Amino acid sequence: MNIIIVGCGKVGQALVEQLNDEGNDITVIDKVAEKVNDVSSRCDVMGVIGNGATHSVQRDAGIDTANLLIAVTGSDELNLLCCLIAKKAGNCHTIARVRNPEYYSESQFLKDELGLAMVINPEFAAASEIARVLRFPSAIKIDVFGRGRVELLKFRLPENSPLAGCAVKEIVTKLHCDVLVCTVERGDEVHIANGEFVFEEKDVISIVAATRKAGEFFRKIKYKMNSVKDVMVVGGGEIGHYLCEQLIRSGMSVKLIEKDPARCETLCATLDDGVSVINGDASDQNILVESGLEQTGAFVALTNLDEENILLSLFAKSVCDCKCVTKINRIGFDNVISKLDLDTIINPKSITSDTIVRYVRAMNSSRGSNMETLYNVIKGKVEAAEFIIKEDSPVVDVPLMELDLKPDVLVAAILRDKKVMIPRGHDSLQIGDAVIIVSRQIGLRNITDIRK
Amino acid sequence: MNYRMISYILGWILIFEGLFLSVPMLTAIVYGESVLSSYLIAMGICFLIGGLLVFKKPKKKQLFAREGCVIVALSWIVLSAFGALPFLMTREIPTFIDALFETVSGFTTTGASILSDVEKLSHASLMWRSFTHWVGGMGVLVFIMAFIPLSGAQNMHIMKAESPGPSVSKLVPRVKTTALILYSIYFALTLIEFIMLLFGGMTVFEALNTAFATAGTGGFGFYNSSMGSFSPYLQIVITVFMILFAINFNCYYLLLCGKLREAFNLELRTFLIIIASAITVITINIHGMFSSVGEALRHSAFTVASLISSTGFSTVDFNQWPELSRTLLVIIMFIGACAGSTGGGIKVSRIIILFKGMSKELQTMVQPRQIKKIKMDSRLIDHETVRSVNVYMVAYLMIFAISLVLISFDNHDLITSFTAVTATINNIGPGLDLVGPTSNFGFFTMQSKIVLIFDMLAGRLELFPMLLLFTPATWKK
């Protein structure tokens, strides 16, 4: 597919890398020559220097043959203009990043009137993900499928857990829990678990379960789970703003620490009174403790500096036994960061690129099944996708044990008529099902891709 | 430095060279020549060593800019060294340096020969010489990259190092597709020329050789008189195609897309104007030497096209022409072809950027507060490109001067030494006086030949890859 990406910022680059690896022909546009040269020397893409909202630049980038234009520059207005012009100049789908809450609240109107295929707000998406994790703090990461009926939860097995030393199949036989273990991360290795796999302490495990059943599972393995009542949020940017709104709605009490007095005023004016806005520099330990860090149930670090966020979370961990969420947007070093005891890490740029990549794959795939959702369970190694089966295909109505699946592909859950099934060998896929596939095969586009 | 990856790619280069050798091998079979065995052995050696090197895929595939340059430079050296084997084994060129000179001259599309009598060579060897032009013209590595499974970003470093011209522009997002388009254009143009030459009465062998040598803008002849013995029709066809192959291939792509205005960009217009004015002046200058103005025009057009495109064919001995014509010819040797073509020289686009840079500098001297940017076809030339063109010019002059000094140890006259370096570094072929179109490079001493070999490679690879090879920092860990 021919894709034009306007804006080579963090999200733009993440998109280029991921979409390029999946075999799309990409042209990037940016005003800054350095950024374009940097991207086009790292990836096999064409670069055009100029204002992406002008017709001539878009024509240079090949708008007449493009299938999709993604506008992810720093400015909402420019993104919308890019999409508007692309829509008129060529016959392509358009995706715009819109982060200003004023515009985003009208996203449906924008989509309809400007003919946008998707309006994406990384800050809002990140805030929703954080809120989800805080509602269920046992998990490091929660991805939801089937409009929230199925969850893919990732958690770290604590020391002395009764599950350590157990084999995967014993979860069903001993604990009688209807959950499916998908992946186990041990050190740098990633395993797609089969029945014989034996857990060890400190493994990071991801399971698929119906939303109602997940709590039961954690109770049975005696996993400590204090529900969070008080949250301390550091950094009052857009994510902080959206997050506070969502947390207040689910009945938590929120303290928001922000350095800039003017921003505090705005936040105070727009947010619900339940949020106590505190003006202060969070890098000062006294302010954190004074604001009640020791008593808080969860700590969320959302400042603009990744390094500061990491340090703040590590400090919070050392002071109290709370759930920590750390925003990391810019820096790489994934393998080093994953070794730190940081609980949940939120990466807004990859949330955005996941959403867009899912859209691109759905565009790419032929009809018959539609990809509904896509998550990177382990970045670049394992992904989880939800397909809706719309018509007959070779995988329909065949018992799963007779399907010749690719190695490391797991049919993790089936949603049929509002019921969630954790499939066993005798079950089969039916038309109308939503299926959740967890696999090491990056780039599944269609449900039929799971066969060899 | 990822040595394993470098040797892996070099292995592929050898395997492809083995495949290329099948062309002279087939020629030997067709003509029933005894040199067949030499070509078979050379092919075997290439496959064997290449096979050993690619047998195990390297684990670490990462290539950075410096590996890209080193790979390009080493590939061309390896390609030439192994390509010289058949000449050695058939004993047609008995010494290694001479054989290497001949193959480097072939692959770099120079066309300078050390042979005094090419008509003595076997058909297979003549074909191999011409075929190296065709392979080298468009760049071997980009071609091979389209076949070796490597990720695109790695290809980019290699394409940047191999493509002629101040900046590389892709036609489409993927390197592979871009390479494919360029090669299709190259192949189609060669085929058209081949057919038109056949119509002019050439034999298949002559037409193939000529088409290969013109397409790569190489210039190895297969008669001692180069193209002088062919009919006016054939000479005109060759003139036209020499110019066509010296035009940026992107222009053809734009033409095929129907973008006529963009195809006739500033570089192409300048190139055509230079050719037209050079032909006019030289025709007036030499018309007394020929029976009619028409004949003078034909010969001057052929010679100008041959030298500005860096091909190096000749119909007459232009060494005998008046001084004005000789000087103009040497100047157009330096200007060279368009960027992104198969031709050599400094390249028209670089000359344009240099001139615009100079006029900008002059204007800022008059109006110190004036801000001025260099533009081409109403597109901004970024500062990086201007800087790299300037540095290129400095490096070019430096290499030129050092080579000239080294050649002068042979104690030939200045015109011979000067044009010998000019003809090799610009990948032309013939120079003036002792290295004129009717003579050859055989009389130089071995060390001078090595210097000229370096110049040919440096000229073809746009200097920097070869210079990097001799920079200690490249090899530091």
Q: What are the tens digits of pLDDT across the range A325-367?
A: 999 988 778 778 877 878 888 888 888 888 888 888 877 765 5
Q: Does A46 touch chain B (CB under 8 A)?
A: yes
In angstroms, the CA B414 to CA B328 distance is 17
Using the beta-carbon criterion (under 8 Å), do A44 and B172 form an inter-chain contact? no
Nearest CA in chain B to A43: B153
Nearest CA in chain B to A62: B172
In angstroms, the CA B162 to CA B366 distance is 40
In angstroms, the CA A1 to CA A220 distance is 48
- Of residues B155, B157, B173, nearest to A26 (C-beta): B173
Check residue A62 and give its pLDDT: 87
Q: Taking chain A, what is the end-to-end CA distance rounded to the nearest angstrom?
A: 24
Q: Does B146 touch chain A (CB under 8 A)?
A: no
pLDDT at residue B477 above 80?
A: no
Concatenating the DSSP letter of every residue in B326-386 gives HHHHHHHHHH-S-TTSS--SS-HHHHHHHHHHHHHHHHHHHSTT-----EETTEEPPHHHH
Nearest CA in chain A to B68: A41
In chain A, residues with a C-beta closer than 8 Å to the C-beta of B384 are 33, 37
pLDDT at residue B468 above 80?
A: yes
Concatenating the DSSP letter of every residue in B255-295 gives HHTT-HHHHS-HHHHHHHHHHHHHHHHHHHHHGGGSSSHHH
pLDDT at residue B334 above 70?
A: yes
Find which of B156, B262, B385 to mutate to test the A interface (most A CBs within 10 Å of its CB): B156
Using the beta-carbon criterion (under 8 Å), do B151 and A44 form an inter-chain contact? yes
Nearest CA in chain B to A42: B153
- Of residues B156, B160, B380, nearest to A44 (C-beta): B156
Lowest-confidence region among A123-137, A158-172, B140-154, B275-289: B140-154
pLDDT at residue B82 above 90?
A: yes
Percent of chain B with pLDDT over 70: 96
Q: Does B153 touch chain A (CB under 8 A)?
A: yes
**B283 or A411, which is more confident:** B283
Lowest-confidence region among A111-115, A405-409, B359-363: A405-409
**A401 or B268, which is more confident:** B268
pLDDT at residue A97 above 60?
A: yes
In angstroms, the CA A284 to CA A281 distance is 6
Residue B432: DSSP 8-state: S
Q: What are the tens digits of pLDDT across the range B39-56?
A: 999 999 999 999 999 888
In chain B, residues with a C-beta closer than 8 Å to the C-beta of A27 are 173
In chain B, residues with a C-beta closer than 8 Å to the C-beta of A62 are 172
B340 band by pLDDT with thresholds 50, 70 and 90: confident
Using the beta-carbon criterion (under 8 Å), do B170 and A46 form an inter-chain contact? yes
Check residue B168 and give its pLDDT: 66
Q: What are the tens digits of pLDDT across the range B407-460?
A: 999 999 999 999 999 999 999 989 999 998 888 899 999 999 999 999 999 999
Domains in chain A: boundaries: 2-120, 136-220, 230-346, 360-450
Percent of chain B with pLDDT over 90: 62
- Of residues A25, A37, A44, nearest to B153 (C-beta): A44
**Strand (E) or helix (H) holding A346:** strand A344-346
In chain A, residues with a C-beta closer than 8 Å to the C-beta of B175 are 44
Pick the closest to residue A238 from A253, A254, A256 (CA basis): A256
Q: Does B170 touch chain A (CB under 8 A)?
A: yes
Nearest CA in chain A to B158: A41
Query: How many CB atoms lie under 10 A from the CB of residue B162?
Result: 26
In angstroms, the CA A302 to CA A244 distance is 12
In angstroms, the CA A157 to CA A160 distance is 9
Using the beta-carbon criterion (under 8 Å), do B174 and A27 form an inter-chain contact? no
Find which of B66, B172, B257 to mutate to test the A interface (most A CBs within 10 Å of its CB): B172
CATH entry 3.90.730.10 includes domain A136-220: no
Q: What are the tens digits of pLDDT across the range A117-128?
A: 888 888 898 998
Check residue A440 and give its pLDDT: 82
> Mapping DSSP to helix (H, G, I), strand (E, B) and coil, where does residue A125 land?
helix
Using the beta-carbon criterion (under 8 Å), do B65 and A41 form an inter-chain contact? yes
Using the beta-carbon criterion (under 8 Å), do B153 and A43 form an inter-chain contact? yes
Q: Does A291 touch chain B (CB under 8 A)?
A: no
**Residue at B154: amino acid letter:** Q
The CATH code of the domain at A230-346 is: 3.40.50.720
pLDDT at residue B153 above 70?
A: no
Nearest CA in chain B to A65: B172
A78 band by pLDDT with thresholds 50, 70 and 90: very high
* CATH architecture group of domain A2-120: 3-Layer(aba) Sandwich (3.40)
- Of residues A26, A42, A44, nearest to B155 (C-beta): A44
In chain A, residues with a C-beta closer than 8 Å to the C-beta of B380 are 49
A77 band by pLDDT with thresholds 50, 70 and 90: very high
Query: How many CB atoms lie under 10 A from the CB of residue B377?
Result: 12
Phi, psi for residue A437 in degrees, rounded to 5:
-115, 130
Tokens of A408: 């490391």
Q: Does A40 touch chain B (CB under 8 A)?
A: yes
Check residue A366 and give its pLDDT: 54
Contact A73, A7 (CB under 8 A): yes
Check residue B69 and give its pLDDT: 84
In chain A, residues with a C-beta closer than 8 Å to the C-beta of B172 are 25, 46, 62
Check residue A308 and give its pLDDT: 92
Residue A401: DSSP 8-state: G
B65 band by pLDDT with thresholds 50, 70 and 90: confident
Distances in Å between the Cα of B234 and the Cα atoms of A68, A109, B211, B217, B298 are 50, 69, 11, 16, 11
Contact B79, B109 (CB under 8 A): no
pLDDT at residue A414 above 70?
A: yes
Mean per-residue pLDDT over chain B, rounded: 90
In angstroms, the CA A273 to CA A246 distance is 13
Contacts across the A-B interface (CB distance below 8 Å) = 37
Q: Does B257 touch chain A (CB under 8 A)?
A: no
pLDDT at residue A91 above 80?
A: yes
A225 band by pLDDT with thresholds 50, 70 and 90: low
Using the beta-carbon criterion (under 8 Å), do B384 and A42 form an inter-chain contact? no
Distances in Å between the Cα of A211 and the Cα atoms of A150, A193, A216, A411 are 5, 21, 10, 17
Find which of A4, A41, A44, A54 to mutate to test the B interface (most B CBs within 10 Å of its CB): A44
Check residue A92 and give its pLDDT: 87
In angstroms, the CA A162 to CA B172 distance is 57
Lowest-confidence region among A51-60, A324-333, B125-134, B200-209: A324-333
CA distance B80 to chain A (A): 29
A224 band by pLDDT with thresholds 50, 70 and 90: low
In chain B, residues with a C-beta closer than 8 Å to the C-beta of A49 are 380, 382
In chain B, residues with a C-beta closer than 8 Å to the C-beta of A37 are 384
Check residue B363 and give its pLDDT: 92
Strand partners of residue A370: A388
In angstroms, the CA A329 to CA A306 distance is 7
Tokens of A355: 């959403």
Query: How many CB atoms lie under 10 A from the CB of residue A418?
Result: 7
In angstroms, the CA A231 to CA A241 distance is 13
Q: What are the tens digits of pLDDT across the range A360-408?
A: 887 776 555 577 778 877 777 888 888 888 877 788 888 888 888 888 8
pLDDT at residue B152 above 60?
A: no
- Of residues A25, A41, A49, nearest to B173 (C-beta): A25
Using the beta-carbon criterion (under 8 Å), do A41 and B382 form an inter-chain contact? no
Q: Identical fold at A2-120 and A230-346? A: yes
Bridge pairing between strands A68-71 and A2-6: parallel
**Strand (E) or helix (H) holding A431:** none
Q: What are the tens digits of pLDDT across the range A283-309?
A: 888 888 888 888 888 999 999 899 999
**A370 or B229, which is more confident:** B229
In angstroms, the CA B313 to CA B429 distance is 8
Check residue A384 and give its pLDDT: 86
Using the beta-carbon criterion (under 8 Å), do B173 and A46 form an inter-chain contact? yes
**Residue at A209: amino acid letter:** A
Mean per-residue pLDDT over chain A, rounded: 85
CA distance A26 to chain B (A): 6
Using the beta-carbon criterion (under 8 Å), do A25 and B177 form an inter-chain contact? yes
Check residue B353 and give its pLDDT: 93
**A171 or B208, which is more confident:** B208
- Of residues A41, A44, A49, nearest to B174 (C-beta): A44
Using the beta-carbon criterion (under 8 Å), do B156 and A41 form an inter-chain contact? yes
Q: Does A43 touch chain B (CB under 8 A)?
A: yes
Query: Which CATH class name applies to A360-450?
Result: alpha beta
